[in-house]
Amino acid sequence: MSRQDSGELFAQLIARARLHDENAIAALYQRALPTIYRYVLARSRRPDLVEDIVADCFLTMVESIGDLRANHEAGFFAWMLRIAQAKVARALHQLTQAQARQQRLPDMASEQEGWLSPDLVATDLASDPVALHEWREAVAELGLALGTLSEEQQIVIIGRFLGGQSIEELAQGLGKQPGAIRALQFRALDALAERMGAVREKRRKGGRV
């Protein structure tokens, strides 16, 4: 099957999914599941949360498929990865809040004995304000930097480094040669490094981004 034929078939699949065709939605689920599962596991590092987050991602896919503008596979994966990114961030935020609430609960036995329970020792971002602040800044910098890239550059960066897609898979999805994808990746990474450097410099000087 040629790249053009494959692209046309995927566009038809998206069109059917927008009409809530169950077979089309199931096909999209099967294609996206391995990538989304790997991404969620890598970002959350919490195997106990992965299944719930992944299920939430695909529920949102079904509910919001009509909002998807892209008709090609790479665009679909970029959209799904943005959904997954938001779901992971929300789940980790909720987990952090829950842990923080637990840490605020008084440990009466520890207070009476005059020592700190090992369970309450700072071991995560919620209990390390400096690390949490630095992590939030890094995420904000990356988000701002990604927003300055072209749509194709964003798809390549998200697909390659967050979705685990190969150069060849992205080339097929975008209808380009692998060499063109490598060039897009090179320019995107160069632009990201420059933009993130500028963001950090402005913040260091106390200016607004």
**Given 1.10.1740.10, 3.20.20.210, 3.30.70.1400, 3.40.630.30, which CATH number is that of 1-103?**
1.10.1740.10
**pLDDT confidence tier of residue 25, bands split at 50, 70 and 90:** very high
How would you class 20 by CB atoms within 10 Å of its CB: exposed for 0-12, middle for 13-18, buried for 19 or more? Answer: exposed
Q: What is the mean pLDDT of residues 109-113?
A: 39
Is there a contact between 40 and 50 (Cβ–Cβ < 8 Å)?
Answer: yes
Question: CB neighbours of 55 closer than 8 A, spacing ≥ 6?
Answer: none
Q: Where are the domains of the chain?
A: 1-103, 128-209
Asked if the model's pLDDT at residue 9 lies above 80, the reply is: yes
Residue with tokens 């992205």, as numbered in its chain: 170
Please state whether 116 falls in left (phi above 0), alpha (psi between -120 and 50) or beta: beta
> 160: which DSSP letter?
I
pLDDT value of position 102: 62
pLDDT digits (tens, 9 = 90+) for 122-166: 345 455 666 555 655 665 666 667 777 887 888 888 778 766 778
Q: What is the mean pLDDT of residues 22-37?
A: 91
Which of 27-31, 64-68, 86-90, 158-162 bottoms out in mean pLDDT, i.e. has the lowest? Answer: 158-162
Q: Which CATH class is domain 128-209?
A: mainly alpha
Query: Rounded to an integer, what distance in angstroms lies between the CA atom of residue 156 and that of residue 160?
Result: 6
Tell me which long-range contacts 4-11 makes (C-beta under 8 A, separation of at least 24): 4/175, 6/172, 7/72, 7/73, 7/172, 7/173, 7/175, 10/71, 10/72, 10/73, 10/76, 11/71, 11/72
